Amino acid sequence: MIISVGSTQHIDYLKSRIKKALRLFKNSGLKINVEERPAGEFTFLFCQVTYTKDNCSLADGQAFFRYFLADVIAELILNCWEKVLLWEIVRESYYYFSEDDKKVIVEHIMQYLSRREGCLEQGPINYLRRKNKVLQKLLGFLHNNNHLVIDGFIKFRLKDYLSELRDASDKAVDDFLIEREYEEFIQLLKHFVEVQEPRTDLVHVLLKAEGGFKLFDAQMKVIRSDYLEGFIIDLVDREASCEDLLISALITVAPKKIIAHLRYNDNAFETIKSVFTSRVDKCPGCSLCK
């Protein structure tokens, strides 16, 4: 039996994996001769499979090699081809982004594929799920064919897999745009804080475990100024998050210095820090924190 596998790229990965397994095949009775042949932009590996043991059939040996080859090609597609495919999708569907933005988007897609939102699958489990889908397609193809071109196989036989990559790309672009809008908003707030005249010297911020927050002045008295009430009611009506309310409150109070007592939420501290920068210090621990 001779099985040929061709590809325009990453053929060295396939050749290396096959050669590493030659000793295993020999011990199991399989003899594999691999010959490399270029054909234009493609490179083909011709794998001749023979069997040297009498206690097992040649058909069993060939089936074993087909499974091994399908497994290696599935890994090749996910480990080497996947990022290439993502770049093709981004360049085709999101050509209007800059090259730097495209790089960030591709990284977002890969992260999204590693851990899908709203799903327990993550990391290696999600990788194995995708690999198994590709593997089953390869096994079905190699069961009836001895000649496989990886480029064409991906394009015509892995449409579900490509659809999953496109869905992940759409989701990643949405996340990218939301993050960019958020960063632009933070920069706007930061600029506003820099040009605004401070109204008070010091404010202590306490983020409560059950949600919500309290602001204290330098004498550790709760700030209940009338000018806080209007914007809080307005933000609540617009279903703003606790962090939105907190940042808005701090901008309204406009302190020279902020001491953050955020025992339960470091994310809130990072948000405050991104807007108020050097004005913010994190309390190392006090009675208010506890």
Domain range list for the chain? 2-187, 198-282
Share of the chain above pLDDT 90, in %: 49
Asked if residues 216 and 286 have their Cβ atoms less than 8 Å apart, the reply is no
Coil vs helix vs strand at 115: strand
For the chain, what is the mean pLDDT?
A: 85
**127 compared with 226, residue with greater pLDDT:** 127
pLDDT confidence bin for 117, thresholds 50/70/90? very low
- Model confidence at 167: pLDDT above 90: yes
Across 59-71, average pLDDT: 87
- Model confidence at 233: pLDDT above 50: no
Across 83-94, average pLDDT: 96
Distance of alpha carbon 246 from alpha carbon 40, whole angstroms = 63
Share of the chain above pLDDT 70, in %: 86
pTM of the predicted model as reported, rounded to 2 decimal places: 0.77
Provide the b/e sequence for 195-231 (b: ≥16 CB within 10 Å): eeeeeeeebbbbbeeeeebebbbeeeeebeeeebeee
Write the burial class of residue 278 (CB in 10 Å: 0-12 exposed, 13-18 middle, 19+ buried): exposed
- Lowest average pLDDT, out of 70-74, 86-90, 263-267, goes to 263-267
DSSP structure string for 246-288: HHHHHHHH-EEEEEEE-TT-HHHHHHHHHHHGGGEEE----TT
pLDDT tens profile 200-215: 899 998 877 666 788 8
pLDDT tens profile 1-16: 899 999 999 999 999 8
In this prediction, residue 133 carries a pLDDT of 94
Q: What is the CATH number of domain 198-282?
A: 3.30.420
Across 42-68, average pLDDT: 81
**243 compared with 16, residue with greater pLDDT:** 16
